[in-house]
Structure 1
Amino acid sequence: MSAVVPPIDPEIAAAVDLDSLRIDLTHEFIKERRAAAAAFPTLDDLRGSGAFTIEEHVASTAEGTADVSLLVCRPAGAVGRLPVLYYLHGGGMVMGHARQNLDYVLQLAKEVSAAVVSVEYRLAPEHPHPAALEDCLTALTWVTANALDLGVDPERIVLLGLSGGGALAGGLSLRLRDRLDPRPLGQMLVCPMLDDRNNTPSAAQLAHLGGWNPATNAAAWNHVLGDRCGTPAVPSYAAPARAEDVSGLPPTYLEVGAVEMLRDEVVTFATRIWEAGGDAELHVFPGGFHGFDFFVPTANLSRDARAARLNWLRRTLATPR
């Protein structure tokens, strides 16, 4: 594989030094990053515009199931049962929290008149797979069971996962397909981690890129999977690319940058959905690295990516069940 790396979008490259984003997912680094991020944004920050009411809830569905904290956000003054963006934050499944990037998700929800549920799932390495996935399932089951009180429509739920949250959304979608209930209306996977094997051409091509690179990715998956990482013992609910059968999935939006190591696993997953007769919309943004639009949201490429997500959401939520 050639060591030549595709160019980063010039507007974004002028604003971000990728080498400064390089991270080493040691236990100490994870601890420090969690502590630094824990206080921001606050719920008062998120409520500041007055566009949404935000309530904290605790979900539990059965004895022996861990209680799961979640945020339920509704457009202020909204009436009736609203569609739901079921949001699973990024952070490689080792960092992050339910408020992370929630301001952006609320912007999306405002555009489509939807509620948002954001899940505080447990993180690795303290809580390896399947803890986070079980939390996501527990919270979703609770939301559907309490849909009337929450004022949401359980038939119009879109799973929305960013990065590590994309792995969880994809795994949850597979598990819901196999359980047959509840069935999401769609899933939006933005720069998702789908494959623990780290063996694609883009992983080799972009091995020395700053930010989320193959070493970072491998460290995150090892924290999540332990000794199973890279072996045949990894279940598809943990790493969706492992699924032998991807038929029966809900309409899927897949997005990745051309200059990120996850590129080829995302493209392959979209191709497999099409081959199985499914509905997938794939966007590979030229010049984009992992999470580029959150670093430079005003860049033209970032605006294009966010417009594509919004357009897909509008079409998907307009689809009758």
Structure 2
Amino acid sequence: MSEELPLHAPTAQKPVTKETTVSASTDSLAKDPNIVVKAPRPRWMLHIQALFWRFLMGIGMFLHKFAFPRPMSPKFKRMIPTTVSPMPGQIALHFYVPKDYKERKATGENLYPVVINFHGGGFTLGKATDDARWCTTVVEDVDAVVVSVDYRLAPEHPFPTAVEDGVDAILYLVQNFRDLHIDKEKIALSGFSSGANMCFTVPLRLLKELDMEAAKHEERHMSVIEGTRPALQKAVSDGRVLTKGRAGISIKAICTWYPPTDYTHTREQRKATCARLDQQLPAVFTDLFDESYLQPPTMDMSDPYLSPGCAPDHMLAGLPEETIMFTCEWDMLLKEGEDFRDRLRTLGKTVHYQMVPEAPHGWDKAPNPLKRTPGVQEHYLNACKDLKRLLKVAPDAATMEEAIPSED
């Protein structure tokens, strides 16, 4: 289940007056006389509700992975401390590896491309192993290592903790690429629903982290450099040589599945663009997701680390040149996904886009223990075809460090 839970029960018809929680786009809510704004629930109540649905989701994902052929399990796990978020903690990285990983690692040759995956669940539910079928397909078809991230969840850890944890995952993998036998110049990001949102927001936040580290380094060393080595001083000012060990990061591609990209739209506004209201997630889930992650309720929903569709052009310019995007015809997020696709193309990015017809949000995560959902594997393999091509880019291609955008 991703933001999620592919529940297909028809939603009851609502009266003209609609209720919504205080979460997205407060200004737009105030302008709609038909919307009654509910006060948010206490955090303890959200916590209890989240625990309940996490338990049930665990059962659903067990059934999802039970159908043959069964997906692989992670080969090993690394627990890493968080460094970016002001809220200290640990996150788990789950490693799915090819069959010859141990042998190739022993030789020290032929580093693997790496796909870093972010699961769905509305930033509130879900685990890194929920996408085991996708991870298995990538490992087997792309011959890559897949690292699925157990980022911290709301309501215990609201925005922007998940995004900051995603940055920590990338930094750790780059710092330890030799030990893990992965190629830090051949990185791709993948994600489903809220995890697909992170595929855009995490690299944007990563650029900010590299910029801040560069500024700290410059402050420490500029007094020594100033007046003695002008060429080095210019290099420091340009931010090109400051983050060795944390830079040299080359994200070649982003692969997203049904991403939310603009939280300035309320749930009601999103539903108004949807072809099948009976295929949407019930409010019990969407209210839980929004109230848990979007804190405080008065926060700026256009924050680029929440709504990449609202990010300025100079920030989006720092994203990878190519994106693979899948949306669903019956998803309330379809329009904003297509709008963001068009935005990226306007900026000169290449977007390999496909809308899955007659499919609801999270259609690939149906909890059917008897058979896999038809069409899922075909779409996964189509995505892998592009990933294989993009992850074999020449090693001297521009790195993430070189793509740090100007604030001008």
1:169 pairs, out of 199, 213, 232, with 199
* Aligned residue number for residue 262 of structure 1: 333
* Aligned residue number for residue 252 of structure 2: 185
* 1:151 equivalent in alignment to 2:181: yes
* Aligned residue number for residue 11 of structure 1: none
Question: How far apart, in 2, do the equivalents of 1:222 and 1:118 lie?
Answer: 25
Structure 2 counterparts to residues 52-63 of structure 1, below 5 A: 54-60=75-81, 62=83
Amino acid at match of 1:19: A
* Larger displacement relative to structure 2 (262-271 or 217-226): 217-226
Report deviation, 1:176. Answer: 2.8
Question: How far apart, in 2, do the equivalents of 1:210 and 1:183 lie?
Answer: 38
Amino acid at match of 1:190: W
Question: How far apart, in 2, do the equivalents of 1:209 and 1:195 lie?
Answer: 22
* Aligned residue number for residue 19 of structure 1: 9
Are the aligned partners of 1:247 and 1:276 in contact in 2 as well (CA < 8 Å)?
yes
Report deviation, 1:294. Answer: 2.6
Structure 2 counterparts to residues 94-243 of structure 1, below 5 A: 94-178=124-208, 179=210, 181=247, 182-199=249-266, 203-206=271-274, 208-212=277-281, 216-217=285-286, 219-228=288-297, 232=300, 234-243=302-311
Report deviation, 1:36. Answer: 3.0
* 1:248 equivalent in alignment to 2:318: yes
Structure 2 counterparts to residues 295-310 of structure 1, below 5 A: 295=366, 298=372, 300-310=374-384
Q: Using a 3 Å threshold, how does the CA distance of structure 1 residues 214 and 192 change in structure 2: closer, same or farther? A: farther
* Aligned residue number for residue 8 of structure 1: none
* Aligned residue number for residue 319 of structure 1: 393
Question: How far apart, in 1, do the equivalents of 2:135 and 2:393 lie?
Answer: 21
Q: Using a 3 Å threshold, how does the CA distance of structure 1 residues 222 and 18 change in structure 2: closer, same or farther? A: same
SS where residue 75 of structure 2 aligns? strand
* Aligned residue number for residue 66 of structure 1: 89
Are the aligned partners of 2:137 and 2:380 in contact in 1 as well (CA < 8 Å)?
no
Structure 2 counterparts to residues 6-45 of structure 1, below 5 A: 18-19=8-9, 27=46, 28-38=48-58
Question: How far apart, in 2, do the equivalents of 1:216 and 1:61 lie?
Answer: 28
* Aligned residue number for residue 76 of structure 1: 99
Report deviation, 1:139. Answer: 1.7
Question: How far apart, in 2, do the equivalents of 1:33 and 1:58 lie?
Answer: 25
* Aligned residue number for residue 277 of structure 1: 348
Q: Deviations over 1:27-64 (max 9, x none)?
A: 344221212344765xxx9xx98967611111236496
Q: Using a 3 Å threshold, how does the CA distance of structure 1 residues 228 and 247 change in structure 2: closer, same or farther? A: farther
Question: How far apart, in 1, do the equivalents of 2:390 and 2:325 lie?
Answer: 14
Q: TM-score, normalised by structure 2?
A: 0.65
* Larger displacement relative to structure 2 (91-100 or 206-215): 206-215
Are the aligned partners of 1:53 and 1:73 in contact in 2 as well (CA < 8 Å)?
yes
Report deviation, 1:21. Answer: 9.7
Amino acid at match of 2:386: W
* Aligned residue number for residue 289 of structure 1: 360
- Report % sequence identity: 23
Question: How far apart, in 2, do the equivalents of 1:253 and 1:213 lie?
Answer: 28
Question: How far apart, in 1, do the equivalents of 2:273 and 2:281 lie?
Answer: 13
Question: How far apart, in 2, do the equivalents of 1:285 and 1:53 lie?
Answer: 28
Q: Deviations over 1:272-300 (max 9, x none)?
A: 00111112111112211112123277555
Question: How far apart, in 2, do the equivalents of 1:162 and 1:273 lie?
Answer: 19
* Larger displacement relative to structure 2 (63-72 or 285-294): 63-72
**Larger relative contact order, structure 1 or 2 (CA cutoff 8 Å, min sep 6):** 2
Question: How far apart, in 1, do the equivalents of 2:318 and 2:332 lie?
Answer: 27
SS where residue 390 of structure 2 aligns? helix
Are the aligned partners of 2:263 and 2:301 in contact in 1 as well (CA < 8 Å)?
no
Aligned residues: 301
Q: Using a 3 Å threshold, how does the CA distance of structure 1 residues 20 and 123 change in structure 2: closer, same or farther? A: farther
Q: Using a 3 Å threshold, how does the CA distance of structure 1 residues 210 and 285 change in structure 2: closer, same or farther? A: closer
Amino acid at match of 2:198: L
What is the aligned-residue RMSD (CA, Å)? 3.3
* Larger displacement relative to structure 2 (177-186 or 154-163): 177-186
Q: Deviations over 1:227-265 (max 9, x none)?
A: 346x64642112212212222311111111111100001
